[in-house]
Amino acid sequence: MNHRQRMQACLKGETIDRPPVALWRHFPVDDQSAEMIAAAHLHFQQSFDWDFLKVTPSSGYFVYDWGVQDVWRGHPHGTREYTNRVIHAPEDWLRLEPLSPHKGHLAEQITALTRIIEAIGKETPVIFTVFNPLSIAKKLVGDEELLVHLRQYPDETSRGLEVITEACKDFVTAVIGQAGADGIFFAVQHAQPSLLNQEEYFQFGRPYDVPTLLAASDGWLNVLHLHGNEVYFDQFTDYPVQVINWHDLETKPDLASGMKRFSGAVCGGIRQEATLNLGTAAQVRAESEAAMAATGGERFILGTGCVAPTTTPYGNLMAARRVVEGAQG
């Protein structure tokens, strides 16, 4: 099987030659231009031959055209620090202007994605990272400030979320319809009790998530990423996605339980920090083999709960790639 055939069979629960595997990472500094972000991702894929390539742009890529600024200061996960936000008062949400995927920094992302897809060929699926509207709102106003605005100024903040959602829908349409991606990696960050309770997420998360994902319905490989601890997993099992990815070794449910509660495929099995980054190749293999045993290697993609740190040893990345070769279907 080639990568595309293997992934499509995996999503259908069909017999495959081996479990798929994919890891992803940020490419700081290189993620500031279409040429370099394309080159970095292509080199990464050529080095490890993942079963799908997740394109991971700068964490702030979606908000640059609204005036947000950030800087690279060496975070090991490859994320950048924000130096200028654009929402300071509740009425600022009402001033948000629509964005076009054909202008500015968003257009740069489409250019980079198009180059990657053209170079990588049809046998390897490519998906692009899209943060959900609530996560984008956080980048506009700040982490703690967003929670204050949601609770004290819900009407103004909701108006902002509506504008963000329309921009997300237009961008997702371009990612799949124009650039030709196979789907999106939809990152959700607030579905955990330390940030929002379940009722709050139903009010401020879901109504904006679902329209964005419906805009990606032409994609066949849409991955939902639930970031954080004690995530509201069961709130998302009816989302229109084919794969759910979460920190399965650090928060409930485990992979086997997740498979019972979600009809699609699950992605995980390796701890990104303790094992992939700070552990040994033997530990990576052990966690990977345990994940394959727990799922039976069906409707399962070997991966981590989030990005591989930029400091991850080459041998640990390669151990994750090679371990599936010993698990023939």
Closest Cα partner for 295 from 271, 274, 265? 265
Query: What's the confidence (pLDDT) of residue 320?
Result: 98
Strands (E), the chain: 53-55, 69-71, 81-84, 126-131, 183-188, 223-226, 243-246, 265-270, 300-304
Q: How far apart are CA 101 and CA 97, in angstroms?
A: 13
Mean per-residue pLDDT for 165-193? 98
Lookup: tokens for 214: 């419906």
- % of the chain residues with pLDDT over 70: 99
Q: What is the DSSP string of 200-236?
A: HHHHHTHHHHHHHHHTTTT-S--EEEE-SSS--GGGS
On average, the pLDDT of the chain sits at: 97
Mean per-residue pLDDT for 117-143? 98
CA atoms within 13 A on the CB side of 188: 30
- Provide the angle, in degrees to the nearest 10, between the axes of the packed helices 133-141 and 143-152: 110
In the predicted model, is pLDDT for residue 329 greater than 50? Answer: no
pLDDT, one tens digit per residue, over 37-84 is: 999 999 999 999 999 999 999 999 999 999 999 999 999 999 999 999
Closest Cα partner for 296 from 247, 321, 259? 259
Q: How far apart are CA 33 and CA 243, in angstroms?
A: 29
Q: Are 16 and 6 in contact (CB under 8 A)?
A: yes
DSSP 3-state of 75: coil
Q: How far apart are CA 315 and CA 264, in angstroms?
A: 31
In the predicted model, is pLDDT for residue 327 greater than 70? Answer: no
DSSP 3-state of 184: strand
For position 222, which CATH number holds? 3.20.20.210
Domain encompassing residue 184: 3-326
- The number of folded domains in the chain is 1
pLDDT, one tens digit per residue, over 127-136 is: 999 999 999 9
Q: Are 219 and 212 in contact (CB under 8 A)?
A: no
Lookup: tokens for 86: 């654009």
pLDDT, one tens digit per residue, over 142-155 is: 999 999 999 999 99
Q: How far apart are CA 201 and CA 123, in angstroms?
A: 38
Does the pTM surpass 0.85? The reply is yes
User: What per-residue string of b and e applies to 278-303 under the rule 16 or more CB within 10 Å gives b?
Assistant: ebebebbbbbbbebbebbebebbbbb
Mean per-residue pLDDT for 207-222? 98
